[in-house]
């Protein structure tokens, strides 16, 4: 028997979670033990509607896009472009041409660092990032800095895992060309105050790139309200497939930027020695794109809109409140990051004397899937003086009962490893 949720006041009321779970085939699989999936920050599960949209493409209109003068190619093109429009509406972009399809967040950020970066960053310029960045929003800027002689500067964090913004005035100078930062930390779940930082960055003439891999899936994101210059996210963390990501950019910037990868689809005309490139987004979508995956992401966006991002955010908030409250009575447990009201999605922790990989291994025996490691955020690990943490992350399909199973698993791990040490 598993413990009942300990606090009646926290009974979930924002979403019909049972109905939602019914949309996800993997969550309905018979297995012993039953799968408790607490790793959506790494990749989310996929609802039937997304699998069906991709299946329909392969079964009924599989063809390359933008070139074929025949029915199924025209249908594939229309559905691919329809997906782009859905994504533009989802993040409130003014025009669908501001949506560039990439493979993932990592590729979107590399595209900007290489293309915009090479055209705009010079020796002595400064690139401002934070210590809580995923490596995907750090390494492309490190390479750019090494190539150009620019300098990387860092916004530090408080012990609680919030950005130290009293430093911002000192860090943002007329040398700052771009601020590249995460909206939500993949380790701590911290939600950063993007609008304030964007306003301050623009006041010194710097551009702003937002890594929205952990925010677009979990809370309403409005690029016009944020006023960011670039925004990057991945399909596979928002109920969509792998192999598809998005780069949003302000149109004048996308127009000015040189292409990143070049080849088929990116051009207006090609001569022997030089070429004229197409307008965005085509300029940045070299070669045959991930057609089925883009269509699948369009279906995922329809699904998330139907459930409602406000409701998803509220649901995760309740899960986090419950998890913080329940887990904090385990002796020797450290939770990293801020209180639930300042975060979303994830809870990172360590149990005294037990390696996070061992914790994840014990939890797996009872079907609970969590992640353990440095979460591609080594500078953040260094800040907390740990090599790794265990991270449980939540999404629209998780329940309070699953958090009880996490709690039970942590207690089991504690028993096993305490016994071994005696």
Binding of ligand PMP at residue 214 (CB under 6 A)? yes
Shortest CA distance to 148 belongs to which of 113, 173, 182? 113
DSSP 114: I
Q: Which is nearer to ligand PMP, 23 or 211 (CB)?
A: 211
Q: Which is nearer to ligand PMP, 77 or 136 (CB)?
A: 136
Contact residue for ligand PMP among 44, 45, 234, 290 (CB under 6 A): 234
Dist CA 81 CA 248 (whole Å)? 15
Q: Which stretch binds ligand PMP (CB under 6 A): 92-100, 130-138, 282-290, 398-406?
A: 130-138
Quick check: 72 and 405 in contact, CB under 8 A?
no
Both tokens assigned to 172: 């943002």
Residue 318 vs residues 304, 333, 350, 359, 395: alpha-carbon distances, Å: 18, 21, 22, 24, 11
Contact residue for ligand PMP among 44, 182, 198, 290 (CB under 6 A): 182
Dist CA 421 CA 417 (whole Å)? 6
Contact residue for ligand PMP among 91, 121, 213, 216 (CB under 6 A): 213
Binding of ligand PMP at residue 134 (CB under 6 A)? yes
Q: Which of residues 66-95 bind ligand PMP (CB under 6 A)?
A: none
Q: Which is nearer to ligand PMP, 77 or 186 (CB)?
A: 186
Min dist CB 290 to ligand PMP, Å, is 13
CA within 13 Å, CB half, 85:
6
Dist CA 208 CA 227 (whole Å)? 9
Q: Which is nearer to ligand PMP, 109 or 319 (CB)?
A: 109
Both tokens assigned to 358: 């061992």
Binding of ligand PMP at residue 104 (CB under 6 A)? yes
Q: What is the x/- site pattern for ligand PMP, positions 12-51, by CB under 6 A?
A: ------------------------------x---------
Q: Which is nearer to ligand PMP, 39 or 402 (CB)?
A: 39
Q: Which stretch binds ligand PMP (CB under 6 A): 19-27, 119-127, 209-217, 336-344?
A: 209-217
Mention every residue, 6+ apart, whose C-beta is less than 8 A from residue 88.
94, 95, 96, 98, 99
Peptide bond into 33 cis (omega under 30): yes
Q: How far is CA 303 from the centre of its chain?
A: 17
Mention every residue, 6+ apart, whose C-beta is less than 8 A from residue 385.
none
Contact residue for ligand PMP among 106, 115, 190, 398 (CB under 6 A): 106
Could you count the other beta carbons within 10 Å of the beta carbon of residue 230? Answer: 26
Binding of ligand PMP at residue 294 (CB under 6 A)? no
Quick check: 392 and 370 in contact, CB under 8 A?
yes
Min dist CB 235 to ligand PMP, Å, is 8
Q: Is 376 a residue of the active site?
A: yes
Binding of ligand PMP at residue 315 (CB under 6 A)? no
Shortest CA distance to 179 belongs to which of 145, 144, 153? 153
Dist CA 353 CA 414 (whole Å)? 9
Both tokens assigned to 208: 């702003």
Min dist CB 71 to ligand PMP, Å, is 34
Both tokens assigned to 81: 């472009």
Contact residue for ligand PMP among 40, 45, 186, 265 (CB under 6 A): 186
Binding of ligand PMP at residue 192 (CB under 6 A)? no
Min dist CB 184 to ligand PMP, Å, is 7
Quick check: 217 and 206 in contact, CB under 8 A?
no
Q: What is the x/- site pattern for ligand PMP, positions 368-397, by CB under 6 A?
A: --------x---------------------
Q: Which is nearer to ligand PMP, 125 or 285 (CB)?
A: 285
Contact residue for ligand PMP among 98, 105, 190, 192 (CB under 6 A): 105
Q: Which entry of 49, 228, 239, 376 is annotated as an active-site residue? A: 376
Size of the site for ligand PMP (CB under 6 A): 14
Q: Exposure of 231 by Cβ count < 10 A (0-12 exposed, 13-18 middle, 19+ buried)? A: buried
Contact residue for ligand PMP among 46, 98, 110, 136 (CB under 6 A): 136
Residues that bind ligand PMP (CB under 6 A): 42, 104-106, 134, 136-137, 182, 186, 211, 213-214, 234, 376
Catalytic site residues? 376
């Amino acid at each position: 028997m598993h413990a009942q949720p300990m606090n009646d006041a926290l009974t979930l009321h924002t979403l019909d979670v049972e109905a939602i779970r019914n949309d996800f085939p993997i969550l309905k699989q018979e297995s012993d033990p039953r799968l408790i999936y607490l790793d959506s920050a790494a990749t989310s599960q996929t609802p039937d509607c997304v699998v069906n949209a991709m299946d329909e493409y392969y079964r009924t209109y599989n063809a390359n896009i933008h070139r074929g003068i025949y029915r199924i190619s025209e249908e594939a093109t229309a559905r691919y472009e329809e997906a782009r429009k859905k994504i533009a509406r989802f993040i409130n972009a003014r025009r669908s041409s501001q949506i560039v399809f990439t493979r993932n967040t990592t590729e979107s950020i590399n595209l900007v660092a290489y293309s915009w970066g090479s055209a705009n960053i010079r020796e002595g310029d400064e690139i401002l990032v934070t210590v809580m960045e995923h490596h995907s929003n750090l390494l492309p800027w490190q390479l750019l800095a090494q190539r150009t002689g620019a300098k990387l500067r860092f916004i530090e964090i408080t012990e609680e895992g919030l950005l130290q913004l009293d430093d911002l005035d000192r860090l943002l100078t007329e040398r700052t060309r771009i601020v590249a930062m995460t909206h939500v930390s993949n380790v701590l779940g911290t939600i950063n105050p993007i609008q304030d930082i964007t306003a301050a960055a623009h006041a010194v003439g710097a551009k702003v790139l937002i890594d929205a891999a952990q925010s677009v899936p979990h809370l309403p994101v409005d690029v016009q309200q944020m006023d960011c210059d670039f925004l990057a996210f991945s399909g596979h963390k928002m109920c969509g497939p792998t192999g598809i990501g998005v780069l949003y950019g302000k149109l004048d910037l996308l127009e000015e930027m040189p292409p990143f990868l070049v080849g088929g689809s990116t051009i207006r005309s090609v001569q022997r020695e030089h070429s004229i490139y197409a307008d965005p987004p085509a300029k940045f979508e070299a070669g045959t794109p991930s057609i089925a995956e883009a269509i699948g992401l369009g279906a995922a966006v329809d699904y998330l809109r139907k459930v409602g991002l406000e409701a998803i955010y509220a649901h995760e908030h309740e899960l986090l409140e419950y998890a913080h409250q329940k887990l904090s009575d385990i002796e020797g447990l450290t939770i990293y990051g801020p209180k639930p009201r300042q975060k979303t999605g994830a809870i990172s922790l360590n149990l005294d004397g037990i390696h996070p990989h061992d914790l994840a291994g014990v939890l797996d025996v009872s079907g609970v899937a969590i992640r353990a490691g440095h979460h591609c955020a080594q500078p953040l690990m260094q800040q907390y003086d740990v090599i790794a943490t265990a991270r449980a992350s939540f999404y629209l399909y998780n329940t309070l009962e699953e958090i009880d199973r996490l709690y039970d698993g942590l207690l089991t791990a504690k028993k096993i490893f305490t016994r071994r040490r005696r």
